[in-house]
Amino acid sequence: MQSTRASYRIVNTLERILIVDDDPMVRAVVGSCLVRQGYRVLEAADGEQAMERIVREKPALVVLDIEMPRVGGLAVLSRLRESGNLTPVLIVSSRSHVDDRVNGLSLGADDYLTKPFNQEELLARIRALLRRQAATETPIQRLQFGDVEVALDKRTAVCKGRTTRLSRTECAILDLLARYAGTPVSRERLFDLVWGYTYLPETRTLDTHVWRLRKKIGDTGEEPRWIKNVPGVGYQLDCSEPAAPSSV
């Protein structure tokens, strides 16, 4: 029986966050904050631009102001939810009255933050929403690349006929890299989603786990074939070779 083909499930919205605000200074400040954390930033100055970019570029999350020209933030939110689009939306607005917060959340916003805001709180809320979104995704159970077959659900890797046990952390790293195969995943993102804490530049924890994982899947050459280091960013699962469906 053929298993569901989950090998190299590519998600094109990795770390892409859309900032929707008519104030260029707000977009610049928030964008700079997000870029420093390894996110990819998109911008829109009004609701019409926002809808176009959401449909075309499918961001992972939207940071949305309410008061904007042409089409306001609440109208954008209503259109999204009415169309069945469940992209996480964080409203960031100067409207601080409880009725405004209740209205925004009732229309389908996932969180509401009032201006002025602390950048660390903004980042914490964004991370929480992305974690929540990731938790709702269907887990990948099987991966196959070359002569290597990995069963994440059983925590095993079969390489050249030899079965090796994988740790929970190794499975979590491989699962995350597979979800975003072909796209670099930052160290910060890996630490946030795998370990649940902020990346510390001096730690070698991630590199040690990746080294062990490479060894278990036979990816130990001078130039790793599957899990590749991306200097200054993190790691990437290479999907340049087609993956074959696994059978059970």
68 and 149, same domain (yes or no)? no
20 and 115, same domain (yes or no)? yes
22 and 93, same domain (yes or no)? yes
Provide the pLDDT for residue 135.
64
Q: Which of 100, 135, 170 is the last residue of a domain?
A: 135
61 and 91, same domain (yes or no)? yes
Q: How far apart are CA 43 and CA 37, in angstroms?
A: 17
184 and 228, same domain (yes or no)? yes
Residue 8 forms part of a structural domain:
no
Provide the pLDDT for residue 120.
92
Residue 104 forms part of a structural domain:
yes
Domains in the chain: how many in total? Answer: 2
95 and 186, same domain (yes or no)? no
Domain span at 59: 16-135
Q: How far apart are CA 191 and CA 69, in angstroms?
A: 39
Q: How far apart are CA 39 and CA 46, in angstroms?
A: 21
Q: How high is the mean pLDDT in each 10-residue block of the chain (248 residues)? A: 34 70 95 89 94 89 92 92 86 91 89 92 91 68 83 88 88 87 83 72 82 89 86 83 40
79 residue type, one letter: R
Q: Are 39 and 19 in contact (CB under 8 A)?
A: no
Residue 9 forms part of a structural domain:
no
In Å, how far are 81, 140, 142, 144 from 5, measured between CA atoms?
30, 9, 8, 9
89 and 157, same domain (yes or no)? no
40 and 112, same domain (yes or no)? yes
Q: Are 32 and 2 in contact (CB under 8 A)?
A: no
Provide the pLDDT for residue 189.
81
Query: CB neighbours of 143 closer than 8 A, spacing ≥ 6?
Result: 6, 7, 8, 149, 150, 152, 174, 178, 243, 246
Buried b / exposed e along 188-200 (16+ C-beta atoms within 10 A): bbbbbbbbeeebe
Q: What is the pTM of this model?
A: 0.55
160 and 122, same domain (yes or no)? no
21 and 84, same domain (yes or no)? yes
Three state DSSP letters for the chain: CECCCCCCCECCCCCEEEEECCCHHHHHHHHHHHHHCCCEEEEECCHHHHHHHHHHHCCCEEEECCCCCCCCHHHHHHHHHHCCCCCCEEEEECCCCHHHHHHHHHCCCCEEEECCCCHHHHHHHHHHHHHHHHHCCCCCCEEEECCEEEECCCCEEEECCEEEECCHHHHHHHHHHHHECCCCEEHHHHHHHHHCCCCCCCCCHHHHHHHHHHHHCCCCCCCCCCEEEECCCEEEECCCCCCCCCEC
Provide the pLDDT for residue 182.
80
128 and 167, same domain (yes or no)? no
Q: Which of 135, 162, 195 is the last residue of a domain?
A: 135
